[in-house]
């Protein structure tokens, strides 16, 4: 129990630190605090080296430097993976090695990369810790050390400080751990051919999606309804056909193209929406109000047919009472009906030609 | 200048005939003849037909296009929904031989064939490119100086840009320029390019969601000091006009912002009788805007 508490505490710390790192300002501070001493050290060493070279001619060091520059880099990364050792290493080994380090360009990636390594590290620990259900005391101390050691006093301060600013997660004991059973996607739920069905229906670009979320971020329906188009696209690509075809939120799309206009991958998102809607309709999932628009077209040729008030109004402004459309030309209406019978639209919405009603 | 096959659609001719009247008179003045497409139907409604069955959607749209093909003229429509349906169908059938074949097999039942030799154009784009701002400005007899207008582009007039390419869909100017040719001022407002809320079948399926959009837009227009809304789509027009009464009923919020289709708005600037524009039967009274125009007339002596 004690072990788990320790891990949780550490995990939460690290998670919040990582979470904070996604904000611009604190992330930048984090960088400076953790790495600046090394940078300064390197600079100091470099001037020392220059002085040394000046005095000795520096022939031998130059050669050595070229050979070492690569291995040097990997050792710095290595260092970060083994924080316990690095305490001493940082002060001794790199100091000597970095004396010989010359190119400024190389210095930068080392600094930028290190926080990433630091970030990745606790995740690895977390996983192993969780896997070991009944840990022995030995591991406990090892883990404890591992995690707490690398936090230099200044870095810890930053984490502490930013932690206070962030709202604490409720019931922090388990908020980070998802229930695997609830979040598993099982093989039997996946229909691998679903993606191809969408492609065959005319939206081959769907496969280009890399899940950046620009679509949902741009979606005006997404900000007022549960409709999440990125999520639907992801499920479609994964083959979660049943889930997608039961998702009624697809009907909250106003087809405004905000998503498609901004999609960095050029996915024809509105086409995908309409394809999924077509599939749902085929499965009988159509709203009554929508079917009624279909009924009006079958009956009059217009989704919004004329009424008495508008006929009067048309007359008043000097237009024909009936517009020169299917309203005025019954044979044209017959053409519309023939086409919709041929495509099966009438039976799709369950239109009864005798009663003029939906069955 | 070229003549057009004039595609009416549903909402304009069957609910707001003043838009049709204004357009017919205006284009005659500009020397462009609008020819009736006899026997045309619903475009058909993209939200329902496009969502239910693509083949039905393409086939009815293609039938409408063949009427214009028989006339040998490009189509002009003043509804974003109709424009979206007809443009996209024309585009798709021109680029997808298999789809064209399939649709033509269906159309053969009624003795028609889609060829793909005409263009589908939007009324506002025709005004901007064919008529031009100079001619519009020259036709203005009652300048609308001092009127603050919230321009609503809607969705299917410009998007998807990759296919349509009329103007930049994120920050267009085409409508603002036309509106300002009358002397009125187009005011910028938050989320100007957002949908009115009616599209995609959302209005008929989930009115609360549609009205939430509309309220959002109206709130932002009001905050920018708009005296009136100018749109280029009878469905957006209906959503703003009828929508304001629905919002009042549901939430008690009152905006009372007059709504004009661009054809009606230009009609006012060109001195048409407001009654001919049927603005008197709008759900939301346009009196406030008309009074302001009246006032301006007194100041400027009507010139």
**A19-42 mean pLDDT:** 39
- A333-345 tens-digit pLDDT: 999 999 999 999 9
For residue B55, what is the nearest residue in chain A, using CA coordinates?
A343
Q: What is the predicted pLDDT for the residue at B294? A: 72
pLDDT at A55: 59
* Average pLDDT score over residue span B5-25: 97
Over range A231-235, report the average pLDDT.
98
The DSSP bridge pattern shows strands A351-352 and B4-7 to be: unpaired
Contact B51 A335 (CB under 8 A): no
CB pairs under 8 A between A and B: 220
**Better pLDDT: A99 or A266:** A266
* Tokens standing for residue B192: 């100007």
Residues 6+ apart with CB under 8 A from B303: B141, B143
Q: At residue B267, does pLDDT exceed 80? A: yes
pLDDT band at B261 (very low <50, low <70, confident <90, very high): very high
Question: What are the beta bridge partners of residue A352?
Answer: A357
Do B54 and A345 touch, CB atoms closer than 8 A? no
Q: How far is B80 from chain A (nearest CA, A)?
A: 11
Q: Does A92 touch chain B (CB under 8 A)?
A: no
| Region A10-24 average pLDDT | 36
- Residue B298 CA to residue B303 CA, distance in Å, equals 9
Distance CA B181, CA B183 (A): 5
| Chain A partners within 8 Å of B169 (Cβ) | 257, 261
B108: closest CA of chain A, how far (Å): 9
Residues B33-51: what's their mean pLDDT? 98
pLDDT at A183: 80
Q: Is B279 helix (H, G, I), strand (E, B) or coil?
A: helix
Interface touch A254/B202, C-beta < 8 Å: yes
A220 touches chain B (CB under 8 A): yes
The arithmetic mean of pLDDT across residues A155-172, rounded, is 50
Average pLDDT of the residues in A222-229: 98
Angle between helices A104-131 and A2-21 (to 10 degrees): 150
Q: Which of A254, A326, A328 sits opposite B200 (nearest CB)?
A: A254
Note the helical H segments in A22-149: 24-56, 59-81, 83-91, 93-99, 104-131, 137-148
pLDDT tens digit string along A55-108?
A: 565 554 544 444 444 444 444 444 444 444 444 444 444 444 444 444 444 444
A208 touching B (Cβ < 8 Å): no
Which of B62, B43, B68, B73 is closest to B113 using CA atoms? B62
To the nearest whole Å, the CA of A244 is away from the closest chain B CA by: 15
Which of B40, B43, B213, B283 is the mutation pick for testing A, counting most A CBs within 10 A?
B40
Record: contact B47-A335, CB cut-off 8 A: no
CB contact under 8 A, B52 and A220: no
Q: What is the pLDDT of residues B120-164, one digit of tens each?
A: 999 999 999 999 999 999 999 999 998 999 999 999 999 999 999
> A317 in contact with B at a CB cutoff of 8 Å?
yes
Residue A313 in contact with partner chain B when CB distance is under 8 A? yes
Residues 6 or more apart in contact with residue B263 via CB below 8 angstroms:
B19, B20, B22, B23, B26, B78, B123
Instruction: Give mean pLDDT, residues B175-183.
Output: 98
Do residue B20 and residue A281 have CB atoms under 8 angstroms apart? no
CA angle, B97 then B98 then B100, to 5°:
65
Cβ B14–A252 below 8 Å, yes or no? no
Out of A258, A325, A344, name the one closest to residue B8 (CB).
Answer: A325
Q: A324 and B38: CB-CB below 8 Å?
A: yes
Pick from A1-15, A243-257, B146-160: least confident = A1-15
Checking if the pLDDT of A203 tops 60, the result is: yes
Residue B291, C-beta contacts closer than 8 angstroms, at least 6 positions apart: none
Most confident of A5-9, A142-146, B217-221: B217-221
The whole-number pLDDT of residue B224 equals 98
Structural contact between residues B107 and B113, judged by C-beta atoms closer than 8 angstroms: yes
Whether the CA torsion B7, B11, B12, B14 is positive or negative: it is positive
Place of tokens 């048409």: B272
A323 in B contact zone (CB under 8 Å): yes
Where do we find the tokens 């693509």?
Answer: B54
pLDDT at A181: 82
Q: Does A249 touch chain B (CB under 8 A)?
A: no
The reported pLDDT for the residue numbered B2 is 82
* Residue A194's pLDDT band (cuts 50, 70, 90): very high
Model confidence at A148, in pLDDT bands (50, 70, 90)?
very low
**Is A312 in the B-facing interface, judged by CB distances under 8 Å?**
no
The CA distance from A293 to A74, in Å, is 67
Q: What percent of chain A has pLDDT over 70?
A: 52
Among B8, B12, B13, B242, most A C-beta atoms within 10 A, so best to mutate, is B13
Weakest mean pLDDT among A43-52, B83-92, B240-249: A43-52
Minimum distance, in Å, between the CA of residue A297 and any CA atom of chain B: 7
Residues of B in contact with A326 (CB under 8 A): 39-41
Residues B96, B102, B103, B109, Cα dihedral to 10°: 160
What is the percent of chain A where pLDDT is above 90?
48
Please say if the pLDDT value at position A353 is more than 80: yes
Cβ neighbours of A318 in B, within 8 Å: 21, 276
User: Residue A252: closest CA among chain B residues belongs to which residue?
Assistant: B202
User: B19, B203, B39, B40: which is closest to B120 by C-alpha?
Assistant: B40
Check CB contact under 8 Å for B11 and A304: yes
B195 CB neighbours in chain A (<8 A) are: 220, 254, 256, 258
Chain A closest CA to B253's CA: distance in Å? 18
Q: What's the mean per-residue pLDDT of chain A?
A: 71
Contact B52 A286 (CB under 8 A): yes
- Residues of B whose CB is below 8 A from A266: 162
Give me the residue from B38, B161, B281 closest to A329, CB to CB. Answer: B38
Q: Which residues between 143 and 202 in chain A have a beta carbon less than 8 angstroms from any beta carbon of chain B?
A: 201-202
pLDDT of residue B1: 62
Task: pLDDT band for A175, please (50, 70, 90 cuts).
Answer: confident
What pLDDT, on a 0 to 100 scale, did the predictor assign at position B30?
97
Partner-chain contact A349 B52, CB within 8 Å: yes
List CB contacts (< 8 A) between A329 and chain B. 38-39
Q: Of A1-15, A229-243, B10-24, B128-142, which gets the smallest average pLDDT?
A: A1-15
| Closest residue, chain A, to B168 (C-alpha) | A261
Q: Which of A254, A274, A336 sits opposite B197 (nearest CB)?
A: A254
**Bigger pLDDT: A304 or A48?**
A304
Its ipTM equals 0.95
Q: Among residues 29-68 of chain A, which lie with CB inside 8 Å of chain B?
A: none
Question: Does residue B29 have a pLDDT over 60?
Answer: yes
pLDDT at A36 over 90: no
- Using an 8 Å Cβ cutoff, are B153 and B172 in contact? yes
Q: A46 falls in which pLDDT band (50, 70, 90)?
A: low
Contact B155, A257 (CB under 8 A): yes
Q: Give SS3 for A311.
A: helix
**Is residue B92 scored above 50 in pLDDT?**
yes
Question: Cβ of A286 under 8 Å from any chain B Cβ?
Answer: yes
B228: phi > 0 → left, psi -120 to 50 → alpha, else beta; which?
Answer: beta
């Amino acid at each position: 129990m004690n072990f788990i508490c320790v891990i949780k505490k550490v995990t939460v710390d690290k998670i919040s630190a990582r979470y904070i790192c996604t904000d611009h300002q604190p992330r930048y501070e984090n960088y400076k605090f953790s790495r600046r001493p090394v940078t300064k050290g390197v600079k100091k060493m470099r001037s020392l080296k220059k002085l040394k070279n000046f005095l000795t001619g520096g022939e031998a060091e130059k050669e050595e430097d070229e050979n070492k520059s690569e291995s040097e880099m990997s050792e710095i990364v290595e260092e970060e993976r083994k924080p316990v050792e690095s305490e001493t290493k940082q002060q001794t080994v790199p100091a000597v090695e970095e004396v010989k380090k010359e190119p400024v360009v190389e210095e930068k990636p080392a600094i930028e990369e290190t926080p990433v390594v630091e970030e990745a590290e606790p995740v690895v620990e977390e996983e192993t810790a969780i896997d070991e259900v009944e840990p022995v005391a030995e591991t406990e101390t090892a883990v404890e050390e591992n995690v707490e050691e690398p936090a230099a006093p200044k870095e810890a301060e930053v984490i502490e400080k930013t932690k206070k600013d962030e709202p604490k997660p409720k019931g922090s004991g388990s908020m980070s751990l998802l229930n695997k059973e609830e979040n598993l996607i099982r093989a039997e739920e996946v229909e691998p051919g679903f993606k191809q069905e969408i492609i065959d229906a005319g939206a081959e670009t769907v496969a280009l999606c890399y899940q950046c979320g620009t679509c949902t971020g741009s979606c005006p329906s997404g900000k007022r309804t549960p409709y999440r188009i990125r999520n639907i696209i992801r499920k479609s690509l994964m083959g979660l056909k049943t889930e997608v075809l039961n998702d009624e939120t697809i009907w909250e799309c106003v087809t405004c193209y905000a998503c498609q206009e901004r999609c960095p991958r050029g996915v024809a998102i509105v086409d995908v929406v309409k394809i999924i809607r077509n599939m749902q309709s085929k499965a009988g999932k159509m709203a009554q109000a929508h079917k009624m628009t279909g009924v009006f077209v079958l009956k009059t040729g217009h989704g919004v047919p004329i009424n008495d008030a508008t006929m009067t109004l048309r007359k008043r402004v000097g237009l024909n009472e009936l517009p020169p459309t299917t309203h005025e030309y019954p044979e044209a209406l017959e053409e519309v009906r023939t086409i919709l019978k041929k495509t099966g639209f009438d039976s799709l919405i369950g239109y009864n030609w005798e009663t003029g009603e939906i069955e | 200048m070229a003549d057009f096959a004039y595609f009416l659609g549903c909402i304009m001719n069957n609910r707001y005939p003043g838009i049709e009247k204004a357009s017919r008179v205006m284009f005659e003045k500009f020397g462009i003849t609008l020819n009736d497409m006899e026997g045309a139907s619903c475009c058909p409604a993209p939200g329902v037909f496009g969502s239910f069955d693509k083949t039905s959607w393409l086939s009815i749209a293609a039938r409408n296009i063949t009427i214009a093909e028989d006339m040998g003229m490009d189509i002009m429509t003043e509804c974003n929904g109709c424009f979206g349906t007809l443009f996209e169908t024309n585009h798709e059938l021109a680029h997808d031989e298999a789809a064209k074949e399939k649709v033509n097999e269906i159309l053969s039942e009624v003795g028609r064939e889609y060829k793909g030799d005409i263009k589908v154009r939007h009324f506002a784009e025709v005004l901007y490119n064919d008529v031009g701002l100079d001619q519009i400005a020259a036709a203005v007899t009652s300048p609308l100086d001092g009127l603050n207008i919230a321009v609503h582009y809607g969705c299917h007039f410009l998007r998807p840009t990759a296919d349509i390419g009329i103007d930049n869909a994120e920050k267009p100017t085409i409508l603002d320029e036309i509106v300002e040719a009358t002397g009125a001022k187009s005011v910028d407002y938050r989320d100007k390019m957002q949908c009115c809320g009616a599209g995609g079948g959302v209005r008929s399926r989930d009115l609360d969601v549609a009205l939430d959009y509309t309220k959002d837009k109206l709130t932002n227009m009001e905050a920018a000091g708009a005296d009136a809304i100018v749109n280029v789509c009878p469905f957006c027009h209906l959503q703003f006009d009828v929508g304001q009464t629905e919002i009042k009923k549901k939430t008690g919020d009152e905006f009372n912002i007059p709504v004009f289709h661009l054809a009606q708005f230009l009609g006012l600037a060109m001195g048409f009788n407001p009654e001919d524009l049927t603005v008197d039967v709008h759900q939301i009274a346009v009196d406030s805007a008309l009074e302001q125009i009246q006032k301006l007339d007194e100041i400027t002596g009507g010139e």
